């Protein structure tokens, strides 16, 4: 076969109802040399190997599969291909719109029959909601002969559109005369055998089917088209019934499996919830057991300590606190004695200075002596050679200095008296608190700290003094959240009250003093971290708060020492 030269005839298989399009005869061609292929575009060509000439560089020659060479490229043979579609319809449209919207086939890989570039996108309605010609056509034919989306346009007035671009197809539709015949096929169904009605005369005579053989006797060599159609119809009906039964059984089985799955899912959720509850209860029980074990150990230790206290091995905290308070009371009593002696001494000095001041005032007012006797305190300060005016000026300066010293000493004396009184009260209150036993409480009347807990402060603040050593203030009365806290145990704490200083100074000044009283009853509590300003309603309330804060602070500082 490889060396024999035979004529090659390429025949394109016609579709039902069509004629043979062309017959091409290629004489003296070898089957090995002529490797033709009818591509999707409908063309065939001979495959050659292109090589460069060694004797003539730059020129190329072609080598056939049989080894023959030639300078000219092989001839390309174009043939027309026919398609045997499973579903192909032909529609004739008259003048006017077609009622069909076309679109270009997307150029992606693995697209079947890519040579046809135009496919049906949709069947739109005419203006006013009226159906188009294509939709009217679908109403008039059976479902298998209707026009659907994604069907390809293959011919326009008998002209095949294989290999034409989408723009060329649109141009041909525009130039086609009306009425125009369009052929549309379902490319997704592909090619296959012809229908039984068209292929019955040829196929039944040449190759009888099994169903026809079983029905007709062996003597009858041919069947009519009606018989073949009836047999096909019975086969299709049996296949349809079998398919429907299979689908129904599959649906029932699917429903049964789904129902079983839902049951199992519900049981699994119920068991999971129960298990989760049991695990949570177990964890909670473990925590309770651990807490009870810790409490038992704590109470056992407390019982051991109480037993030791009863036997006298250790001293109870109440007794120890009482001893500490007794020692502190002795120290405070000694300090009170020293301060009382100092206070008496300061009073005597004040009385002497007051008498001397009265004498000097009498001498200055009446002017009994032009050259008064110079007291011992002014010896060395007043010279006899000075004039009377100079002596009087020096004496007035000295008297003013002594008055200032007297005021300072008086203020110190008053402060010492206040501190002594407040220390005694604080000591009494602490003693009452300590005497309360943890095994039973005693009714104790509220002391100074409890009776003065609330006070309206600056910027609508309410203060509360705790026995733990902190002054807590709020934005308004009844507010559960405090705005700040001042530690009275801070060593750098200072309390400044101009109103109390004014009262102390005015007690030593004559009635004609020009110093104005303060406008507000305020006091300032300052530390290294913050400074707060508070206001009282009355002078007594102001004095009580300042005294309580200073007493608590001084008591804390003394205990530290």
| 149 contacts: CB under 8 Å, gap ≥ 6 | 120, 121, 122, 123
- Per-residue pLDDT, 208: 33
| 116 contacts: CB under 8 Å, gap ≥ 6 | 105, 152, 153, 154, 161, 162, 187
**Strands, E, within 323-460: which ranges?**
455-457
Alpha-helical (H) ranges within 49-149 are 133-140
For the ranges 336-340, 363-367, 373-377, the one whose mean pLDDT is highest: 336-340
Nearest to 74 by CA among 103, 49, 37, 94: 49
H-run or E-run covering 473: strand 470-474
In order, the DSSP letters of 218-283 are TT-----HHHHHHHHHHHHHHHHHHHHHHHHHHHHHHHHHHHHHHHHHHHHHHHHHHHHHHHHHHH
pLDDT digits (tens, 9 = 90+) for 441-479: 433 334 433 434 334 434 446 777 777 778 888 877 777
Helix (H, G, I), strand (E, B) or coil at 1: coil
In whole angstroms, how far apart are CA 182 and each of 81, 104, 152, 170?
18, 17, 10, 13
Question: Contact at 8 Å (CB) between 470 and 487?
Answer: yes
Say which CATH topology domain 448-561 has: PH-domain like (2.30.29)
Question: Contact at 8 Å (CB) between 454 and 464?
Answer: yes
In order, the DSSP letters of 329-356 are HHHHHHHHHHHHHHHHHHHHHHHHHHHH
- Per-residue pLDDT, 40: 38
pLDDT tops 90 at residue 155: yes
Q: What is the mean pLDDT of residues 283-294?
A: 95
Question: Contact at 8 Å (CB) between 126 and 75?
Answer: no
Helix (H, G, I), strand (E, B) or coil at 105: coil
In whole angstroms, how far apart are CA 405 and each of 341, 394, 418, 499?
19, 17, 20, 20
pLDDT tops 50 at residue 288: yes
Q: For the chain, what percent of residues have pLDDT higher than 70? A: 71
Question: Contact at 8 Å (CB) between 515 and 543?
Answer: no
Q: What is the mean pLDDT of residues 4-13?
A: 34
- Per-residue pLDDT, 401: 85
pLDDT digits (tens, 9 = 90+) for 211-247: 333 333 333 345 788 888 888 988 898 899 889 888 9
- Per-residue pLDDT, 378: 52
Question: Contact at 8 Å (CB) between 29 and 35?
Answer: no
How many contiguous H segments (helices) and E segments (strands) does the chain have? Answer: 10, 20
Distance CA 374, CA 377 (A): 8
Q: What is the mean pLDDT of residues 146-153?
A: 93
pLDDT tops 90 at residue 262: yes
Query: Domain 88-185 belongs to what architecture?
Result: Roll (2.30)
pLDDT digits (tens, 9 = 90+) for 298-332: 999 999 988 888 888 888 888 888 889 988 998 99
- Per-residue pLDDT, 207: 35
């Amino acid at each position: 076969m490889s060396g024999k030269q035979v004529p090659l005839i390429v025949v394109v298989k016609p579709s039902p109802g069509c004629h043979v399009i062309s017959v091409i005869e290629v004489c003296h061609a070898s089957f090995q040399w002529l490797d033709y292929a009818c591509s999707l575009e409908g063309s065939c060509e001979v495959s050659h190997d292109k090589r460069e000439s060694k004797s003539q560089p730059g020129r190329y020659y072609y080598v056939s599969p049989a080894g023959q060479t030639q300078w000219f490229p092989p001839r390309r043979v174009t043939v027309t291909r026919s398609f045997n579609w499973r579903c192909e319809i032909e529609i004739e449209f008259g003048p006017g719109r077609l009622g069909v919207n076309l679109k270009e086939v997307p150029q992606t890989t693995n697209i079947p029959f890519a040579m046809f570039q135009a496919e049906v996108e949709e069947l739109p309605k005419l203006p006013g909601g009226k159906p188009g010609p294509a939709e009217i056509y679908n109403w008039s034919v059976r479902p298998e002969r209707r026009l659907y989306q994604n069907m390809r346009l293959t011919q326009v007035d008998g002209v095949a559109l294989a290999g034409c671009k989408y723009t060329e197809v649109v141009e041909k539709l525009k130039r086609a005369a009306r009425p125009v015949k369009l052929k549309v096929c379902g490319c997704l169904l592909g090619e296959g055998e012809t229908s039984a009605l068209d292929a019955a005369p040829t196929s039944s005579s040449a190759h009888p089917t099994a169903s026809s053989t079983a029905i007709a006797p062996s003597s009858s060599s041919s069947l009519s088209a009606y018989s073949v159609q009836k047999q096909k119809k019975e086969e299709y009906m049996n296949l349809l019934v079998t398919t429907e039964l299979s689908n129904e059984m599959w649906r029932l089985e699917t429903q049964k499996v789904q129902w079983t799955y839902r049951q199992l899912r519900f049981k699994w959720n119920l068991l999971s919830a129960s298990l989760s509850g049991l695990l949570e209860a177990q964890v909670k029980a473990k925590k309770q057991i651990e807490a009870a074990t810790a409490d038992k150990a704590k109470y056992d230790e407390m019982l051991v300590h109480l037993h030791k206290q009863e036997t006298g091995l250790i001293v109870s905290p109440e007794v120890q606190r009482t001893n500490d308070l007794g020692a502190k009371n002795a120290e405070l009593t000694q300090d009170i004695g020293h301060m009382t002696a100092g206070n008496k001494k300061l009073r005597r000095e004040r009385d002497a200075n007051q008498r001397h001041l009265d004498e000097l005032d009498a001498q200055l007012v009446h002017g009994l002596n032009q050259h008064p006797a110079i007291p011992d305190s002014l010896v060395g300060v007043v010279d006899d050679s000075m004039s009377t005016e100079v002596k009087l000026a020096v004496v007035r300066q000295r008297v003013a200095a002594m008055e200032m010293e007297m005021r300072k000493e008086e203020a110190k004396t008053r402060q010492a008296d206040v501190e002594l009184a407040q220390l005694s009260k604080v000591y009494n209150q602490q003693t009452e608190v300590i005497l309360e036993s943890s095994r039973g409480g005693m009714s104790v009347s509220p002391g100074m700290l409890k009776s003065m807990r609330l006070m309206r402060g600056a910027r609508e603040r309410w203060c509360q003094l705790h026995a733990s050593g902190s002054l807590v203030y709020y934005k308004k009365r009844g507010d559960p959240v405090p705005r700040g806290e001042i530690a009275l145990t801070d060593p750098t704490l200072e309390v400044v009250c101009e109103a109390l200083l004014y009262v102390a100074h005015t007690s030593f000044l004559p009635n004609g003093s020009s110093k104005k009283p303060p406008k507000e009853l305020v006091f300032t509590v300052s530390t290294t971290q913050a400074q707060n300003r508070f206001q009282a309603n009355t002078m007594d309330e102001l004095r009580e708060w300042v005294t309580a804060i200073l007493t608590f602070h001084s008591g804390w500082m003394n205990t530290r020492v």
